[in-house]
Amino acid sequence: MKLMRSAHVSSDRLGEAARHASLDGLRDHERSHLETCQECKALYAGYRLTDRLLSSSWRETVLPASATPQAETNRGLAGVLAALRPHARSLVPVALAFCLTALVAFAVLLPQLMPLPNPASERSPSSAVATQSLSPSVPSATTGTPTFVGPQPSGPGAGKTSGGVAVATPTAAASATPESPLSVAGLSGWPVNWAPDGAHLLVSGSSGWTTQRQIKILNASGKSSGSFTADSATWFDSNTIAASTDGRGPGSGTITLINLSGRVVATMPGQHGEGGGGTGAVVLGSGTGEVAVAAMGGWGPAQSSFVIWDGQTVGSSHAGIPIGFSHDGKKLAVVHSSGGPGGNFSGWLEIVSVPSLSTVGSFTHTSIRTSSPGSGPGYGPEVAFSPDGSWLYVSGTLVDLSHGSTTHVGDGGWLPDGSLLTSSGGKVLRWQGTHSTTDSRFEAGGSVATSRHGEVVEFFGDGRSPLLLTSSGTVRQLTLPGVVSISDAQLAPNGAAVAISGRGTKGGVIELARLR
């Protein structure tokens, strides 16, 4: 399951707004995000100050050496290398001799150091170092500690509170051995979007001041398999991406299906786009072979409508704004909004079946409000059905689909056993239905992201290293060199990797960590 978390307004968009000293150029959801996000506010203010500073008069002045570039480069390895550079030529023979000696010594000693094969102790070197098994013998019933339930082979819901469940404590988490993730790219902090099977992800880079951007298709090791240019993209299925590209004017966008090499394999008949003349067609993928697409001229505030396209047939139009498919792609949550298009809108909730679009549940008295990551590579409100389909998580609100009641729960995601893990008020809460308990395994002040497989990542915006709780109950501390603050973490649905977005010392970064 994938929850799109609320991401920040992109740095480029803030920069453009600051250049014009006006927020008018931002979209509605970007403006509303900016009102509440201190980090984006600060960055916008930083751009304003930068422009003011650069347009000032320049003059030569004397500064302490500690404030200049050479002071920075003289620190750490760079400083050592800089100091060695004048003597580099004389050091080359010495270094070669040292390497040769080390190689010979390694070859001689290797057979003595190699242990005999022991199947019982066989596991990957990285997991042996980076993970710490936590006591499985602490029954939650006796300690009062909420139990973390990983995925059970017997199916959903099995063994919710049974013994033998691994319990991670904050102490254990703090002593976890750091694991360095694999850095994929130093991008501008665009959100990532995992494929349903977790084998690939989309990473979007900026292409200047336009909304259209290059979107890379990477595998879970960070290797690019292709790229394409589009305004937004979503996963049609695990091997296909649905992309929308603006046309000239309202209702003139095109929708294409793209394979993992970045090649167009199908084009949706007709042209589609926002009725309000905004950013073109909006697409929402099910991950199971369908995509909900804005019907021609259908994204106006009062007459929003959409169609389902399965790659061959375009279904009939249905009123409302699609906000989230169920995991099996057979149900779709729809909002009947009185607001405009884009990521944020409120209205009443309807659940329809796919592809017939017949109404399964209609909650005309249930008002919900959605938010979306905004300037990412895909339209994706923070919406997710529970594993059994009886609850709906919508941007921090839990909706009981049996009668439409709502509960504010905070940001988070579902676990395979049907419980919801959220962060609210500085605590991590675990929800069974509308009943919550504080999950003391997590540190205070963090945000959580979950995978369908049961992994949980708790991350912090204050510089603390994120913690990974695996589905088997082990905990790792992920070290992220060069990352100053983390704004988002997205686990692959299969829990095999996590993509962490944040700001580094040199701008936005996305770090990718393989977890198994």
CB of 82 to another protein, least distance (A): 6
Q: Measure CA 216 to chain center.
A: 15
CB of 10 to another protein, least distance (A): 10
The residue (of 48 and 369) whose beta carbon lies closer to another protein is 48
CB of 36 to another protein, least distance (A): 14
* Residues in contact with 161: Cβ distance below 8 Å, sequence separation at least 6, in sequence order: 140, 141, 147, 149
CB of 83 to another protein, least distance (A): 8
- 352: β partners: 332, 359
The residue (of 61 and 312) whose beta carbon lies closer to another protein is 61
Q: Return d(Cα 341, Cα 339) in angstroms, integer.
A: 7
> Cα–Cα–Cα angle for 468, 440, 165, nearest 5°?
70
CB of 410 to another protein, least distance (A): 25
Q: Return d(Cα 290, Cα 236) in angstroms, integer.
A: 6
Q: Are strands 305-309 and 456-459 parallel, antiparallel or unpaired?
A: unpaired
Residues of this chain that bind another protein (CB under 8 A): 11-12, 14-15, 18, 38-39, 41-65, 67-70, 72-74, 82-83, 85-86, 188, 208, 503, 506-507
Angle, helices 38-54/28-36, rounded to nearest 10 degrees: 100
Q: Return d(Cα 241, Cα 324) in angstroms, integer.
A: 16
The residue (of 79 and 277) whose beta carbon lies closer to another protein is 79
Question: Is the separation of the CB atoms in 322 and 361 below 8 Å?
Answer: no
Question: Is the separation of the CB atoms in 244 and 253 below 8 Å?
Answer: yes
The residue (of 106 and 209) whose beta carbon lies closer to another protein is 209
How is residue 399 written in tokens?
Answer: 């909706």
Assign 446 to helix, strand or coil.
coil
CB of 27 to another protein, least distance (A): 19
The residue (of 20 and 506) whose beta carbon lies closer to another protein is 506
The residue (of 56 and 142) whose beta carbon lies closer to another protein is 56
DSSP 148: P
- 292: β partners: 284, 308
CB of 440 to another protein, least distance (A): 32
The residue (of 74 and 152) whose beta carbon lies closer to another protein is 74
